[in-house]
Amino acid sequence: MTYLEKPIFLEGTVVHGYGRGKKINCPTANLNSPSLEEKLKDLGNGVYFGWARINNDENIYKMVMSFGYNVYFGNKQFTIEAHLLHDFKSDFYDQNLRLLVNGYIRPMLNFDSLEKLLKAIENDKSVAKIELEKEQFLKGQKNEFITKQI
């Protein structure tokens, strides 16, 4: 685990992805990658944690996200996939999503089985929940980037 010296700010429109997240109990909000890939190139592929806000929703959500090339599924395209740690009743495609990224959990890995991938994803969610309760990260909920009205 690595904490970022300064948070990374990402913003974009939620687009359709591969649809795999919903099938494995980890629905993701995918951001349009080409415009953001350059901003992330120095960080490296991996799983990260932080905060998210949809449009001007009054709620700010904990999130875990991956960006890069998902090696388990053999992705050839760079993706940015955020899993907001909340049970949403509907999709939010075409909505604005702001992500404040605080820390790095692990690299993107290939797994021997889907079961091992699912176990790692559940661990990533747990790590994000625990880390975001730390005082140094709680203030991220009040960061102007997240709280601003759009």
Q: Is 2 helix (H, G, I), strand (E, B) or coil?
A: strand
> Is 81 known to be catalytic?
yes
The pTM assigned to this predicted structure is 0.92
Which entry of 11, 37, 81, 133 is annotated as an active-site residue?
A: 81
Output the tens digit of pLDDT for each of the chain's 150 residues: 899 999 999 999 999 877 777 777 788 999 986 778 777 777 788 999 999 999 999 999 999 999 887 766 666 777 899 999 999 988 999 999 999 999 999 998 888 998 999 999 999 999 999 999 999 999 999 999 999 998
Report CA-CA distances (Å) from 36 to 55, 132, 135: 18, 24, 28
